[in-house]
Amino acid sequence: MKRYLLSLLLFALCMLVTAAGAASIVAPGYPDGELLPPGSTGVFPVAVGGLTDAEGVYFNLTFDNTLLSVESVSANNAIPGSSVTADIDNESGRVEVAVTNTEGITVNETWPLTPIVDITFRATENVGESTMEFSGIPSSYSQGFGEVYFDLIYGGSIAVRNPSTFQAPSGTLSSGQPGTFAVGVDNLTDATEISFELMYDGSYLIIDDIIPVLSGAVITEAYAMNGAHGEYLYELQEFGLEAVPEEVRQNLQQTPQYQNFAWVNVEIPDGLTVTDYTEIVDITFRPTNLTGTS
């Protein structure tokens, strides 16, 4: 089962901290994976954390050579003074890297970790997902000219395919007149579930309805806050906006902006594979008594 989670105008800041004193190394595409269209190139870092005055870092990274090849490995300028030696073997799908630094490599443990090298990959014309794993020789660093193994090792992944895109509703409403606008997607493969959160300016818009337009699609969850909160939570059930007081409906500019959003979850039992823009749901908007752009 493939699930696609998409967010619009939604920003999150995440910070992770490893256990105290833990030396870490992270492969390209950790934790959520990277994307590379077929036939294209992309630069992806290997990152490290929790090192103090290390003289060098050593690792062997493996990948699927039917999907990817390595073109080059270079030092990332986040750590000055590094020299890189790389043994690239695209026939077996591996690259062995040694980084030395006479100034010492000192990086903290705060995520995202500090990139130490950049690896340029080229995608083949095949489509699939390649894991990025540290294997073979142990991933290690040099401390006091002695070899020390990393405490935490994180693999990643790079998918070779065209990017999936998501199109939010767009259009113009006449004063006092509702209108229906589509949410659409393209470049999906075997998608059985699509979820999205849509944020909008409740000073100008109210969501009246959300319905599926894709054949076989079923909305399993949908609600629009429309500036309401507490006992006035607007869920798309048979009572619709009757649960929202008129003064809230017509004066949404007085409510906090974060309360104006919609959440939709769509299940597609037969799966959806598309390469062109395809509409999945229609959203009906109604303008408030104000004019402007949301």
Query: Is residue 178 in a domain?
Result: yes
Q: Measuring CA to CA, how many Å separate 6 from each of 59, 69, 164?
A: 34, 30, 10
Are 39 and 151 in the same domain?
A: yes
Phi-psi region of 31 (alpha: psi -120 to 50; beta: other; left: phi over 0): alpha
Are 155 and 170 in the same domain?
A: no
CATH number, domain with residue 174:
2.60.40
CATH number, domain with residue 60:
2.60.40.680
Are 180 and 235 in the same domain?
A: yes
Cβ atoms of 225 and 243 within 8 Å: the answer is no
Q: How many domains does the chain have?
A: 2
Q: What is the pLDDT of residue 228?
A: 54
Q: What is the pLDDT of residue 259?
A: 60
Domain boundary among 106, 130, 160: 160
Query: Is residue 108 in a domain?
Result: yes
What's the token pair of residue 98?
């040694």
Residue-level length of the chain:
294
Are 99 and 172 in the same domain?
A: no
What DSSP assignment string belongs to 3-64?
A: EEEEESS-------BPPTT--EEE-TTTTT-EEE-TT-EEEEEEEEESEEEEEEEEEEEE--
Domain boundary among 99, 131, 160: 160
* Surface-to-core class of residue 254, CB atoms within 10 Å of its CB (0-12 exposed, 13-18 middle, 19+ buried): exposed
Are 23 and 149 in the same domain?
A: yes
Q: What is the pLDDT of residue 19?
A: 41
Domain that holds residue 141: 17-160
The letter for the amino acid at 140 is: S
Query: Is residue 10 in a domain?
Result: no
Are 155 and 278 in the same domain?
A: no
Q: What is the pLDDT of residue 176?
A: 84
Query: Is residue 30 in a domain?
Result: yes
Query: Is residue 188 in a domain?
Result: yes
Strand partners, 122: 41, 69
Are 274 and 224 in the same domain?
A: yes
Are 88 and 201 in the same domain?
A: no
What DSSP assignment string belongs to the chain?
A: -EEEEEESS-------BPPTT--EEE-TTTTT-EEE-TT-EEEEEEEEESEEEEEEEEEEEE--TTTEEEEEEEE-TTSTTEEEEEEEETTTTEEEEEEEEEEEEEE-SBSSPEEEEEEEEEE-S--EEEEEEE-SSPPEEEETTEEEE-SEEE-EEEEESPPPEEE-------TT--EEEEEEEESEEEEEEEEEEEE--TTTEEEEEEEE-STT-EEEEEEE-TT--GGG--BSSTTGGGGS-HHHHH-GGGS-GGG-EEEEEEEEEEEEEESS-EEEEEEEEEE-SS----
Q: What is the pLDDT of residue 226?
A: 72
Query: Is residue 7 in a domain?
Result: no
Are 171 and 60 in the same domain?
A: no
Strand partners, 26: 47, 154
Query: Is residue 35 in a domain?
Result: yes
Are 152 and 238 in the same domain?
A: no
Are 22 and 126 in the same domain?
A: yes
Are 156 and 247 in the same domain?
A: no
Query: Is residue 269 in a domain?
Result: yes
Q: What is the pLDDT of residue 185?
A: 95
Domain boundary among 135, 160, 185: 160
Q: What is the pLDDT of residue 222?
A: 83
Its pTM stands at 0.68
Per-residue pLDDT 10s for the chain (294 aa) are 455 444 333 323 233 333 446 899 999 999 999 999 999 999 999 999 999 999 999 999 999 999 999 999 999 999 999 999 999 999 999 999 999 999 999 999 999 999 999 999 999 999 999 999 999 888 999 988 899 999 999 999 999 999 989 899 999 988 889 999 999 999 888 899 999 999 888 778 888 888 899 999 988 888 787 765 444 444 333 334 443 344 434 333 334 444 678 888 999 999 999 989 999 999 999 888 777 777
